[in-house]
Amino acid sequence: MSGCRRFCQSGINILAGLLLLLSVARAEVAPWEAWIPASAAGHDVDALRQKFSLLSKEQRVAAGLHLIQKWGREARKEVFEVLESSEISVEECFAHWTRRDFEAALERAEQWDGFGGNYLRQAVFRAVAKSDPVEAARRMRARLDPMSRTYYYYVMLQGLVPELANQPARVILQALHEIRSDLCFMDEFRWGDAVYELAGTRYPWKPANPSRDWEYLISQPPSVARDLVLSLTLQVWLQRDLEKAIALDVPPLYEDLVKYRLDNAFPDDVQRVPELLPVANTELMRSWIRHAERKHVECEWRQWASLSAYLPKPSARERALDTVMRLWLERDEVAARAWMQDLPSGPAREVAEAACLEAEIGHVVKEDWHRALSLAKAMPEGTRRQRCLKTVFADAASEKLDFVQKELDVLALPKPQQAQMRDAWRLSRRDYLQRLKVEDGHDPLGAYALMLDLEDAGMRRIYALEHLGPLQSSKRNEDLQALIEKSSLSREEKDACLLQRIYLAVDGSPNGLDTAGRLKLSMDITDDETRFVHQRAVIQEMAYEHPEKAEVLVESSVLKEEDKHHLRKELQRMAKWERWKKPDNTK
């Protein structure tokens, strides 16, 4: 009897559980699931619009997503017709989908955006970036094509950049690194536009602590991305707190960025110049003056120099007067020297005379190199002497390294300073060799070899990559490859040079590579992820025009079987993409 009772009780419990599950399931069924048709065939747009209008905004987005999922990939046109007529944002639907299922949302976005679209991809990656911009950037490089000259740029600009506006510099730098293509010209263009947007009014960057951002960036290895974010930090800081920011010690590596990117961060007037001269960084003050001159604001050089010369604190007087004199001498040397001659003997006159001597060395070095070197040697130890020596060695371009090193040995400078002098010579020697005629020793490879020998790691990477372009049409392509392999570049830097060659050696150049040649050359990339990213880019480019040829190319190539497997999956994925008209000069 007890066994029968236990059996009945067990059955009752199971039945109660089933009823509970059924009630929960019914409660979770959204009302629109009943009235959205199973397919797009024969749908009534007006009827659907009327039903959508009865829902709240959040419900309309959820219902719109249900429509997208239910009608499927083939019903793109019909889905857009219904959603647009019902004033439902397709982007919001995809953002909602992304938060629930990133893979499914991206798959549909790529199928509908195809080879020419970008705004659904933007919605997907912006949804990811809202919670984690670095992860969004990482997924962009892994799942999209960084070599694309169309959609990738706009996904970055509209999908990633808006969500960087309230992030610290650390996150911005990491995100820029993660979206890299490893092609210097393409990355510099994209990163530059990203920073431009964050420095503008569209997505203005609002750092909580620019001082902490600055310290972090200075501690990072030199790179183009780091330099760009550093210039952004400096620009925003100058606008927020001019007195603190203008006193920053900006390393020489960033002078070009200061020159071209920071001018608009300064006030249009120069009223605060005398007040800030005692603390100002000369390069930043130069940017401010250049900005004022473009605005046709008159600079009171004589007044500024006189105020600086009679400051009571010696350190403030020396710094302010040195800055005024250097900038004044660049613009009106005659007037600056005349003012200096009227100064009475004393510390102020000594500072002004030293600035005039520095300007004089810049003239003398063009006529008598050894005399200029003697004048620079005779200067007291300090930053001015180092600047003058750098000017002198940069003008020894017609001499060889042995000559330069012999003079450096006599000077017995510290090793870091010697490296700076040699790098200054290498950069000027490169320009000298490039200007020579062929019969006089014009040697493009010799000039490029100097860039591979730069001792400043950041400069070496930038110049080694940026100066590959003119060499791609050289008939000495094998010599170029041998030169790179024998250089002191790291393996990562050599791979980066190889990537520039893959994408710069295009059809039509004397040694241009066709698609198969670029694919074969990519086999030498040692990093697995980087190799796949670039092989995928080559295949996508061909698959757009000739999908059947892309398949043949993969199967007939000498690639590793693992690489072939990944590329086959890519071709299968792209086979579902919509094909748009290809814009001119784009991918």
> What pLDDT does residue 543 have?
84
Q: Which residues have C-beta within 8 Å of that of residue 326, sequence separation ≥ 6?
A: 282, 355, 358, 359
Q: Decide if pLDDT at 138 tops 80.
A: yes
| Residues 302/339, Cβ–Cβ less than 8 Å | yes
Pairwise CA distance, residues 451 & 217, whole Å: 25
Tell me the percentage of the chain whose pLDDT exceeds 70: 87
Residue 159 banded pLDDT, cuts 50, 70, 90? very high
- Averaged pLDDT for residues 513-521: 72
pLDDT digits (tens, 9 = 90+) for 352-411: 999 999 999 999 999 999 999 999 999 998 999 999 999 999 999 999 999 999 999 999
Average pLDDT across the chain, whole number: 86
Pairwise CA distance, residues 416 & 414, whole Å: 6
The lowest-confidence range among 335-349, 433-447, 469-483 is: 469-483
> What pLDDT does residue 575 have?
87
Taking the CA atoms of residue 131, residue 132, residue 137 and residue 140 in that order, the dihedral angle to the nearest 10 degrees is -50
- Averaged pLDDT for residues 124-144: 96
Q: Decide if pLDDT at 504 tops 70.
A: no
Pairwise CA distance, residues 43 & 361, whole Å: 83
> What pLDDT does residue 281 have?
93
DSSP structure string for 353-397 = HHHHHHHHHHHHTTT-HHHHHHHHHTSPSSHHHHHHHHHHHHT-T
Taking the CA atoms of residue 161, residue 163, residue 166 and residue 167 in that order, the dihedral angle to the nearest 10 degrees is -80
Q: How far is CA 104 from CA 6, 16, 95, in A?
A: 47, 36, 12
The lowest-confidence range among 22-26, 129-133, 219-223, 520-524 is: 22-26
| Residues 355/328, Cβ–Cβ less than 8 Å | no
> What pLDDT does residue 18 have?
46
Tell me the percentage of the chain whose pLDDT exceeds 90: 55
Type of residue found at 103:
E
Helices (H), 54-183: 57-71, 76-85, 90-100, 102-113, 119-131, 133-143, 151-154, 169-178
- Averaged pLDDT for residues 234-241: 93
> What pLDDT does residue 582 have?
46
The single residue listed with the structure tokens 């199971």 is 14
- Averaged pLDDT for residues 236-242: 93
- What does residue 89 show for φ and ψ, rounded to 5 degrees? -75, 120
Q: Decide if pLDDT at 583 tops 60.
A: no
Q: Decide if pLDDT at 23 tops 50.
A: no
Confidence (pTM): 0.84
Q: Decide if pLDDT at 507 tops 80.
A: no
> What pLDDT does residue 371 have?
96
Pairwise CA distance, residues 74 & 111, whole Å: 10
Pairwise CA distance, residues 167 & 183, whole Å: 26
Q: Decide if pLDDT at 520 tops 50.
A: yes
| Residues 284/258, Cβ–Cβ less than 8 Å | yes
> What pLDDT does residue 19 have?
43
> What pLDDT does residue 21 have?
39
> What pLDDT does residue 4 have?
54
- Averaged pLDDT for residues 198-204: 92
pLDDT digits (tens, 9 = 90+) for 533-552: 888 888 888 887 788 888 98
Q: Decide if pLDDT at 104 tops 80.
A: yes
pLDDT digits (tens, 9 = 90+) for 294-322: 999 999 999 999 999 999 999 999 999 99
Q: Decide if pLDDT at 553 tops 90.
A: no
Residue 27 banded pLDDT, cuts 50, 70, 90? very low
- Averaged pLDDT for residues 48-69: 93
> What pLDDT does residue 24 have?
35
pLDDT higher at 473 or 360: 360
Residue 253 banded pLDDT, cuts 50, 70, 90? low
Q: Which two tokens stand for residue 200?
A: 């503008």
- Averaged pLDDT for residues 182-200: 89
Residue 493 banded pLDDT, cuts 50, 70, 90? confident
Which one-letter DSSP state was computed for residue 159? I
Q: Where are the domains of the chain?
A: 408-500, 510-582
pLDDT digits (tens, 9 = 90+) for 406-459: 999 999 999 999 999 999 999 999 888 888 876 666 778 888 889 999 998 878
> What pLDDT does residue 512 have?
44
Other beta carbons within 10 angstroms of residue 347's beta carbon come to 12
